[in-house]
Amino acid sequence: MKKKKLKTNDRHIHGLSQLLNDKQAILYHKEDLISYDCDGFTIHKSLPRAVVFPHSTEEVARIVKYCHDHALPFLARGAGTGLSGGAIPLNNEVIISLVKMKRLIDIDLDNRRAVVEPGYVNLKLTNQIIERGYYYAPDPSSQYCCTIGGNVAENAGGAHCLKYGVTTNHILGLELVLPNGEIVEIGGNGVLDEPGYDLLGLITGSEGTLGIVTKIIVRILKNPEGKQTVLAYFDDIEDGSQAVSDIISAGIVPAALEMMDKTAIEGVEAASFPVGHPKDIAAVLLIEVDGIAAGIDDQIEQILSVCRNRNVREVRAAKNEQERAAWWANRKTGFGAMGAISPDYLVQDGVIPRSKLPEVLRRINKISEEYGLRIANIFHAGDGNLHPLVLFDARIPGETEKALAAGSACLKVCADVGGTITGEHGVGIEKREEMRFVFTDEEIAAQTDIRSVFNTDNLLNAGKLFPSPSRCAEVKKEMKEKIIG
Partner 1 sequence: MAVSQQKLKQPACKDGVSNYLWSDAPDETKWADCVHCGMCLESCPTYEQTGQEQHSPRGRVYLIKSVAEGKLTVNEEFMDPVFACLDCRACTTACPADVDVGGLIEEARGQVRQAIPLKGWKKSVNKLFLHGIFPHENRLQTLGGLLKFYQKSGMQTLVRKTKLIQIMPKHLVDMEAVMPNIHSSVKKKHRNGSVIKAKKESKREVAMLTGCVMDVMFSDVNESTINVLTHNGNDVHIPQNQTCCGALHVHAGDRDMGRKLAKQNILAFENDETVIVNAAGCGCMMKEYGELFKDEPEWREKAEALADKVEDISKFLYDTGYEKPTASLNKRITYHDACHLAHGQGVREEPRDLLLNIPGVEMVHMPNADRCCGSAGIYNITNPEMAGAVLESKMENVPDDVEMISMGNPGCMLQMAIGVKKHGRSQKIVHTVQLLDWAYQKESRG
- Interface with partner 1 by CB under 8 A: which residues? 1, 27, 29-32, 34-36, 38-40, 42, 51, 53, 79-81, 97, 99-100, 102, 119, 121, 142, 144-146, 271-273, 333-340, 343-345
Give 450-453 contacts, CB < 8 A, sequence gap 24+.
Answer: 450/202, 451/209, 451/210
Dihedral sign for Cα 65, 182, 461, 171, please.
positive
Which lies closer to partner 1 via its Cβ, residue 100 or residue 482?
Answer: 100
CB burial readout 44-60, b (16+ within 10 A) else e:
eebebbbbbbbbebebb
In whole angstroms, how close is the CB of 98 to partner 1 at the nearest point? 9
Which lies closer to partner 1 via its Cβ, residue 208 or residue 240?
Answer: 208
Residue type, 475: V
Which lies closer to partner 1 via its Cβ, residue 34 or residue 191?
Answer: 34
In whole angstroms, how close is the CB of 480 to partner 1 at the nearest point? 31
Which lies closer to partner 1 via its Cβ, residue 343 or residue 418?
Answer: 343
In whole angstroms, how close is the CB of 52 to partner 1 at the nearest point? 11
In whole angstroms, how close is the CB of 322 to partner 1 at the nearest point? 12
In whole angstroms, how close is the CB of 447 to partner 1 at the nearest point? 29
**Integer angstrom CA distances of residue 53 from 17, 78, 118, 449:** 10, 11, 12, 31
In whole angstroms, how close is the CB of 197 to partner 1 at the nearest point? 34
The answer to whether the beta carbons of residues 179 and 455 sit under 8 Å apart is: yes
**Helix residue spans in 91-224 (DSSP H):** 122-129, 148-154, 161-164, 199-203
Which lies closer to partner 1 via its Cβ, residue 147 or residue 228?
Answer: 147
In whole angstroms, how close is the CB of 95 to partner 1 at the nearest point? 10
Which lies closer to partner 1 via its Cβ, residue 153 or residue 306?
Answer: 153
Reading phi first (left if > 0) and then psi (alpha if -120 to 50, else beta), residue 165 is in left
Strand order in the sheet with 50-52: 26-27, 50-52, 94-97, 74-77
Say if residue 389 is exposed, middle or buried (CB neighbours under 10 Å; 0-12, 13-18, 19+).
Answer: buried
In whole angstroms, how close is the CB of 301 to partner 1 at the nearest point? 33
Strand order in the sheet with 183-187: 104-108, 113-116, 212-219, 171-177, 183-187
Distance of CA 197 to the CA centre of its chain: 25
Write out the E strands in 100-170: 104-108, 113-116, 134-135
Which lies closer to partner 1 via its Cβ, residue 186 or residue 390?
Answer: 390
Which lies closer to partner 1 via its Cβ, residue 53 or residue 437?
Answer: 53
